[in-house]
Structure 1
Amino acid sequence: MSKIDQATFDETSKKWIKGQALFFRAWAYQSLVKDVGGMPLILEPQPVGDLSSIQKPRNKTSECVAQILKDLDDAIAILPDGWSGRDAGRIDKGAALAFKGRVLLFYASPLFNGLNGIATWQKAYEANLAAKTYLDSKGKGLYPVFGKIWEDEMNKEIIMVRRFNYPESAYPAPGFIPLFASADDWESDCPSWELLKAFPMKDGSKFAPASASDYEKYFLNRDDRFYATVLYNGAPVMWGDKWKKQNVYNWSFLQFGQIDASNNAFDKSNGKYKNDLNQSWSGLTEFSPNCTYRAKGVDRSAPDALHSATDWPEIRYAEVLLNLAEAAFESGKASEALNYLIPIRQRAGISQGVGNYGINTTDLRQAIRDERFVEFAFENKRWDDLRRWKAFDYLRSLGKRHGFAIILKPGESLPGKLDDINKPAVYTKFACNVVNGDKATIGIQDKQYLFGLPYRILQRNPKLQQNNTWGGNFDPFQ
């Protein structure tokens, strides 16, 4: 950054390289500041020499966010509209605009409450509207089929992406599908019952089981995102060669399951309890306490589970819409917010019904939050959402996360490998139960909205102060 202007190559390349560097400096600082508050702003090269000469105190959080926004504005001014060929996927103007909208939304939210005017809801609204307007002008938008977003590379919904390819740039993903079709691991990323029930019905209504038979039909008539996100018991899929060789659909029920008085699921054949979302045991198939796996983003054409090459979108057009919807609502534009929410539900295959695609307009704030939960499931956004909303009360109210145990009923025959789970004669073979998904009660504390600085980091730089929420003197909310 300090010397690129002195380089001898062309000015356009200088601008584009500088724009990417500015973006990633903003990205790096946001990754720190959103978790711990302000950190030392190092904006010039530090001289090699005595260690004490480069030790700096923490800047205020507001100073850091102001610098993040400045870097993004400077990057936006010089980044190209897009990249092509081997450069496709590099940071462009649209990615920087969308990320600026995300940053402002985070600090406008209740956790930081606008940082004394640095990030008001109105500023978040303006930034996300600018991102949407620009992206619309470049042909970006919602991809028509939700489940294809992760299969059709560089489609129009992709705003910022980590690209992969096989064999040059693949990654191991052994635990996202049953072990017989995977390798070395299983149940790495299972949906909780809280997520399973959050997906709307096809008519936009909430999934609200009132009887045992309603639980048995949990997978019927849900919105399109359910089937693209959740690999449920009996799902008619055979991904990859291993699955095809087995010639079997995804059966993931408990063959010898039982629920005890404490609401833990276990296997009668060996007494092993199923009260941990990351444990499993084998029988007819691979079993899960909630009997479901993650389907979203799984590389369905990978030669094996150790060489996945699915591109992973960091920012999608849907996020820009939902960021804009939330900022619009919080800045007093409820009717406009609804207009950004509706296309998300339309793309999910939800019918209009008698209202606005099942959207609860009497509590639009919660409707937007609920939509983010299902739209971005497994996309690494839920934790930051719960933090910025100061929603740990919700987590504590759960007591524990819950799984969804699907148990073969006594006396029922096993399903055939390729039986149709949609038929009553098949899905009624199973009893469905909401069970404990955690061993311990959720005891997260409000001070954990922001992390404290690790001891090893404080030891490296005596000028750093610990957050006052963790026994120090630094106020991370200023």
Structure 2
Amino acid sequence: MKYRTKYIGVLIAAGLLTISCDDQLDLKPISEETVDNAYVTGNQIEAALVGVYESFQSSDYYVWDQVLYSDVRSDNHYAGGDNPEIFQIDAINIQSNNGRVNKAWASIYNAIMKANLVLEKTPGIELEITEERRAQIIGEAHFLRAYHYFNLVKLYGGVPLVLETIKSADPAAVRVPRNSVDEVYAQIIVDLEAAAADLPDVYLENGQPSLGISKARATRGAANAILAKVYAQKPVPDYNRVIEYANLVINSPAGYTLLPDYTQLFDGSHYNNTESIIEMQFIGGNEGTWGPQMQLPPSVSGDNWRKFVTPSHNLVNAYDSEGDAVRKNCNILFENITFWADEYWNNSIGSSIPFAYKWKNAGGWNSADHVYLIRLADIILLRAEAYNATGQIGLAATDVNQIRNRATLGDLPAAASASQSAMRTAILKERRLELAQEAHRWDDLVRNNVVVETMNNANETNLATGQQVNYNMQEFKILLPIPLEEINRNPTLIQNPGYN
């Protein structure tokens, strides 16, 4: 059973969980159902945990905006569409009053508050719960809180660490100042280590391993995968720890393996596969995702309005320069458009325009396409980075060649192994070709300290104006501004440098 299908209902802001699983009429006044007495059984805390997972599906950030902040903000895609706030992201000229910036902050913190509630209440549950399941629930909540804080720290830098539910409206209790980046990363690691200790490698259903459950919920493999990513991304990387945790994933008893055919990852028929470590689950209809409708071409989406993510010349050229037809054709679809002109590709109606094609089923705003949060190829390429950074260039090449061979490309040319610098460039390109539109590119550029030069060297021309695009990328733009609405609400928050 996927976690979303067990969802009953969570209202964290009010501190209430509404449960409707008793056959008998409950005559207790609703005003007496408080956060203190609403969690007394295992079923109730399971429902609260489902509410934490549900944040992946209800948050614009995880459904769509993570692609904007990683692929559109970088050199992978243009904004398209007609939304000024998304144009700001594309131009890397993001203002503190940008509504999407505020929504990302709010929705991710909402998910953290849900996780905090589960962490607080689970130890006291005495009915309808085994000790094994109690430990798993706590592990899942630790993982989820860490995952959300990892996204926050990458987006905004140091953020307030709120590790328990808000129990008072007193301004002193709710106006929490920012913690440092190092403090946030330290807490993420604490949570993930706790999660790895409590979580199973796989979940069982009727006594047998269940891929469906194991890909929908946090596992030990997922915790170790994020630990590898954390040790690579934090301000002072620890590449030996990256290798350690990547090895735990690659050699996990869960049996993660690359699918033999790259296209199977995104054909809609192979979700919850052996390469997947954790993915967002959608079944369509009332439990579908609207993300694919935002980017698929008219022949697939069934409409004729301009889409909000368009692959860049830079990305298409990267595929072509490598002769990478397999991943290019899986991730990008060209189509002649008679409804609008695209200022980057032709600026005339009827021209051929590329569309982002990794999610392939629009479903009329209710797609059943899943979204990978972590998959094995990402971790193999991350280990290659760490091998290279520690001088083990040969091992790095072996890892990269696994991924290239799956895409029917030959091994890396000898020149890529000539130096750590050459190998770093090769790995960065391989990650781009493998993971485009999966919300990794911006982090990859930042982690490799090349985001400023990459964006300032991007050779993009707006055909409508005839002017070359000037991203004016500066170091401070690596981070988003702290939302102005949050600063107005919480005067203890200090804005990131460079922003008003």
Using structure 2 for the length normalisation, give the TM-score: 0.67
Shift of 1:337: 0.9
Match of 2:417 among 357, 361, 364: 361
Count the aligned residue pairs.
365
Q: Deviations over 1:63-87 (max 9, x none)?
A: 1111100100000000121233873
Contact 2:202 2:254 in 1 (8 A): no
Match of 1:53 among 169, 173, 189: 173
Contact 2:249 2:256 in 1 (8 A): no
1:140 is aligned to: 256
Whose helix fraction is larger, Structure 1's or Structure 2's?
2
Contact 1:4 1:14 in 2 (8 A): yes
Who wins on radius of gyration, i.e. which is larger?
Answer: 1
Shift of 1:361: 1.9
Residue 343 of structure 2 is aligned to residue 275 of structure 1: yes
Residue 484 of structure 2 is aligned to residue 455 of structure 1: yes
Q: Which amino acid aligns with 2:380?
A: L
Q: Deviations over 1:134-174 (max 9, x none)?
A: 2xx32211111101112312111111100111224212333
Residue 296 of structure 2 is aligned to residue 177 of structure 1: yes
Shift of 1:402: 7.6
2:29 is aligned to: none
Using structure 1 for the length normalisation, give the TM-score: 0.70
1:68 is aligned to: 188
| 1:114-263 paired onto structure 2 within 5 Å | 114=236, 119-134=237-252, 137-150=253-266, 151=268, 152-172=270-290, 173-181=292-300, 182-199=302-319, 206-207=321-322, 222-232=324-334, 251-252=335-336
Residue 456 of structure 2 is aligned to residue 393 of structure 1: no
In the alignment, structure 1 segments of 5+ residues that lack a partner are 201-205, 208-220, 233-250, 255-266, 404-434, 472-478
Q: Deviations over 1:312-371 (max 9, x none)?
A: 11111000101110011112211111111110011001135xxx4677222101000010
1:243 is aligned to: none
Residue 218 of structure 2 is aligned to residue 99 of structure 1: no
Contact 1:192 1:402 in 2 (8 A): no
Contact 1:58 1:464 in 2 (8 A): yes
Shift of 1:197: 1.5
Q: Deviations over 1:166-211 (max 9, x none)?
A: 22421233343332442253443322111111126xxxxx45xxxx
Q: Give the superposed CA RMSD.
A: 2.9
1:442 is aligned to: 471
1:217 is aligned to: none
Contact 1:174 1:186 in 2 (8 A): no
The DSSP-based 3-state class of the residue aligned with 2:374 is strand
Contact 2:384 2:397 in 1 (8 A): yes
In the alignment, structure 2 segments of 5+ residues that lack a partner are 1-118, 204-209
Match of 2:495 among 459, 466, 470: 466
1:297 is aligned to: 359
1:328 is aligned to: 387
Q: Which amino acid aligns with 1:100?
A: L
CA distance 1:307–1:57, shift in 2 (3 Å) = closer
Contact 2:239 2:389 in 1 (8 A): yes
Identity %: 27
Shift of 1:97: 1.0
Farther-moved stretch of structure 1 (367-376 vs 168-177) = 168-177
